[in-house]
Structures are given as structure tokens and as C-alpha cells.
Amino acid sequence: MASRIEIDINAVRNTNYKVPGIENTVENIEREINMIRWRIPNEVLDESGIRDRLEKVSQDLRRVERKLGDIYSVTSNNVSQYMNLEERLTKNAEQFQ
């Protein structure tokens, strides 16, 4: 018995369209963290170690943004390739009917 993998390509494509919005939300959160950091006096930032922790959070958020961008690009490319392949296979199958 052969294995069969079914992909709802429309669901994948529709879900992928949400990724840039999520990426934008992460960017906005990073921006807000930076604004909060600028409002805290330097003495407090330095003495409590908050500056380093906020910088680490900002770095982590930038990393998440990059990964989301990569996910979006790869998924978009794969959806396109899948749809093109499916179209070609359908045309080839029609020739044998």
C-alpha cells in the first residue's frame, strides 16, 4: 500500500499570508521595547542590568523577525512550485486519457 500525502495548498497559502502581519507585530513590539528603554534613566539601566536584558530581548525579536521572513519566503516559493508542478502533472495526465 502506497503512502499518500495530501496538502491543502489553499490553506497553506492563506496561512502564509498571515506571516508578514505577525512579523510586523514582532517589529512593533521591538520598537516599543526600545522606546521604553529610552525612557528609563541611564543610571537605572546600568545599575540594574536592565539595559543588557532589554538589548537581549531586542536581539531575540530581530532574530524572530528574520526567521518569520525566511518562513514566508520559503513557503511562498514552495507553494508556487507545488502549484506549477500540480498543473503540469494534470496536463500530462489529461494527455493519457
> In the prediction, which pLDDT does 3 show?
76
Please state whether the predicted TM-score (pTM) of the whole model is above 0.85: no
> In the prediction, which pLDDT does 7 show?
85
Show Cβ contacts of residue 87 under 8 Å, excluding neighbours closer than 6 positions: none
Q: What's CA 85's distance to the chain center, in Å?
A: 24
Q: Is the pLDDT of residue 96 over 80?
A: no
pLDDT band at 40 (very low <50, low <70, confident <90, very high): very high
Domain residues of the chain, as ranges? Answer: 14-95
> In the prediction, which pLDDT does 1 show?
66
Assess contact for 27 and 65: CB atoms under 8 A. yes
Q: What pLDDT, in 10s, does the model give residues 6-24?
A: 889 999 999 999 999 999 9
**Cα atoms in the Cβ-side hemisphere of radius 13 Å centred on 17:** 5
